A and B are shown apart, each in its own frame.
Chain A
Amino acid sequence: EAEVAQSPRYKITEKSQAVAFWCDPISGHATLYWYRQILGQGPELLVQFQDESVVDDSQLPKDRFSAERLKGVDSTLKIQPAELGDSAMYLCASSSRAGTANEQFFGPGTRLTVL
């Protein structure tokens, strides 16, 4: 069964350092999402891609976060510099269509701890 892949699964870094997370969506899925999930809360959308284009990054802290999906397939989310409050689970999801009633498939997430 096709799955969304994410790496690394766990990342520990010190504040002010740069971190990067990678996501490989299900093959053929044009829409890719990055979410942040703070412990005890639901996922919060950071950025949505349709192919290689950003369609929603309204909740992305652009002073330190960046995301790209250069070839419209896999994607990278970067934080520079990391802050203590960035400690969370970062989830990637993909779906075959955007803006329609279509389920999103989530990856296992990257657990980030900022010391």
Chain B
Amino acid sequence: GESVGLHLPTLSVQEGDNSIINCAYSNSASDYFIWYKQESGKGPQFIIDIRSNMDKRQGQRVTVLLNKTVKHLSLQIAATQPGDSAVYFCAERGKLIFGQGTTLQVKP
């Protein structure tokens, strides 16, 4: 069946460094992906999305890259801040299938 999965369950970075969270998907027909951030005790929050006709999309301090050849997408966070500490999920459209999530820990 369809699946999305993040490569690492936990990522620890130093404050101010850049963070890269990776995600693989299995459905080559997927045409839309979303990154969500979930802080402790809260529901997921939309960060950024990307359509399959794009390779890159930038937001405020975040960039999503899509590599359709290897069915891989990544979320890059520039100048990581303590407030970025959360669980990050990639999801694909349709039934909005979530992966397991990567916990980002920011060390001061």
CB distance from B35 to the nearest CB of A (A): 10
Give the docked Cα–Cα distance between A73 and B49 (Å): 27
Q: Which of A33, A105, A108 contacts B42 (CB 8 A)?
A: A108
Majority secondary structure, A binding face:
loop
Whether B100 lies near A40 (C-beta < 8 A) is yes
Q: Mark B33-57, 1 if CB is under 8 A from A, else 0.
A: 0100000011111100101000000
Q: What secondary structure prevails in chain B residues at the interface with A?
A: loop
Stretch at the interface among B13-21, B64-72, B76-84, B88-96: B88-96
Interface residue from A41, A56, A105, A109 paired with B95 (Cβ < 8 Å): A56
- Provide the bound-state CA to CA distance between A44 and B98, in Å: 7
- A41 lies within 8 A of B93 (CB): no
Q: Which residue of A lies closest to B47 (CB)?
A: A103
- A105 to B43, alpha carbons, bound, how many Å? 9
Interface size class of A (residues with CB under 8 A): 10 to 19
For B32, the chain A residues whose CB sits under 8 A away are: 101
Minimum Cβ distance to chain A for residue B92 (Å): 11
Question: What is B's interface to A at a CB cutoff of 8 Å?
Answer: 31-32, 34, 41-46, 49, 51, 89, 91, 93, 95-96, 98-101
* A interface residues (Cβ-Cβ under 8 A, vs B): 4, 33, 40-45, 56, 91, 93, 101, 103-109
